[in-house]
């Protein structure tokens, strides 16, 4: 009979059982997540829920489905900021949006939108390019709690100075304050920015093509996936894009080791912007 005494090995077993339980009970499959990242997030959930062990956390979630939303929110790590990596948004302004302007309708998929900072950043770019009226953003995330916060468009006012600096660094021509209203210690983004935004739950791990898109942004999400899951998701993105459509990844992500790399042309390695080849 095998007996596990090593605490690390025991925790590994507990997390394996947690992953299996989440998949069989609720259909959420975290088996393709980077193990180190998943371990950190599960440990954080143990602390958040005060269960003491991963096994007790698994038992809690199996028998308390009303707490699932909170758990998914913790597992999805919704981290972002306005105009994160300004050169990326500058490249979108200068190199991508002018080409998208030739289409009568523009569909943009923001996959893994977190709390919505990048959605609003993108909406500002579209407004300043005069494309808001014929562009639609589909903002998706696995976490319904993150989506709810994104819809509200309310953020800490203390974020505004850094956001304003990144906005200008990305080529912004106005004042960032033109796009929000401040009250007390909060700022609320102008609701007109999301007039053509649809927020929807979508699981990149298990769900399929969400829409036919001219541009897909999925930034700083793939770094949490293992290679096999990255391949699956990148293939789905290629299948989702119109011929000649654009894909924008996070600056720490790339297609170098993906089977999907042959389907894309790299437009800018620094900003990780790719274009689907005509035969893609």
pLDDT in tens, 253-266: 888 878 888 999 99
Q: Which structure tokens are listed for 186?
A: 């909060």
Query: What pLDDT was estimated at residue 256?
Result: 81
Residues of the chain with pLDDT under 70: 1-5, 77-79, 279-280
Q: What is the token pair recorded at 110?
A: 């923001």
This prediction has a pTM of: 0.86
Q: How far apart are CA 221 and CA 79, in angstroms?
A: 10
Please check whether residue 265 is in contact with residue 275, taking contact to mean a CB–CB distance below 8 angstroms.
Answer: yes
CA 62 to chain centre: 26
Query: Could you give all domains of the chain from N- to C-terminal order, each with its CATH number?
Result: 7-76 (no CATH), 86-276 (3.40.50.150)
Q: Per the structure block, which two tokens stand in for 116?
A: 């919505």
- At residue 5, the pLDDT reads 67
For the chain, state the CA radius of gyration: 20
- What does the alpha-carbon distance between residue 280 and residue 262 come to, in Å, rounded to a whole number? 8
Q: What pLDDT is attached to residue 279?
A: 66
What's the CA gap between 93 and 99, in Å, rounded? 10
pLDDT in tens, 100-153: 999 999 999 999 998 999 999 999 999 999 999 999 999 999 888 899 999 999
Of the candidates 35, 27, 12, 59, the residue with the CA atom closest to the CA atom of residue 142: 27
Please give the C-alpha separations between residue 73 and each of 56, 76, 77, in angstroms, as whole numbers: 19, 5, 7
H helical segments located in the chain: 7-26, 35-49, 54-63, 68-76, 86-91, 97-100, 117-128, 144-152, 160-169, 227-240
Q: Per the structure block, which two tokens stand in for 31?
A: 């088996």
Question: For residues 245 and 276, what is the distance between their CA atoms, to the nearest angstrom?
Answer: 5
């Amino acid at each position: 009979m095998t007996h596990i005494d090593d605490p690390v090995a025991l925790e590994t077993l507990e997390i394996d059982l947690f992953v299996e339980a989440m998949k069989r009970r609720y259909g959420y499959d975290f088996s393709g997540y980077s193990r180190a990242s998943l371990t950190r997030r599960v440990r954080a959930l143990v602390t958040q829920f005060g269960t003491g062990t991963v096994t007790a956390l698994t038992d809690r979630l199996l028998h308390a489905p009303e707490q699932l939303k909170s758990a998914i929110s913790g597992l999805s790590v919704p981290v972002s900021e306005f105009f994160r990596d300004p050169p990326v948004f500058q490249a979108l302004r200068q190199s991508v949006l002018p080409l998208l302007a030739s289409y009568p309708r523009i569909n943009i998929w923001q996959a893994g939108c977190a709390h919505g900072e990048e959605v609003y950043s993108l909406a500002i770019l579209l407004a300043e390019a005069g494309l808001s009226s014929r562009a639609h953003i589909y903002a998706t995330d696995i976490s319904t709690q993150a989506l709810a916060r994104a819809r509200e468009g309310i953020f800490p006012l203390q974020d505004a100075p850094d956001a304003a600096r990144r906005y200008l660094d990305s080529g912004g021509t106005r004042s960032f304050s033109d796009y929000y209203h401040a009250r007390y210690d909060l700022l609320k983004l102008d609701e007109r920015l999301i007039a053509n935004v649809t927020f929807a739950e979508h699981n990149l791990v298990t769900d399929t093509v969400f829409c036919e898109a001219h541009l897909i942004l999925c930034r700083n999400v793939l770094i949490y996936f293992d290679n096999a899951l990255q391949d699956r998701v990148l293939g789905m993105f290629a299948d989702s894009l119109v011929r000649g459509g654009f894909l924008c990844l996070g600056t720490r992500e790339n297609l170098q080791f993906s089977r999907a790399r042959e389907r894309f042309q790299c437009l800018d390695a620094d900003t990780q912007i790719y274009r689907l080849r005509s035969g893609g």
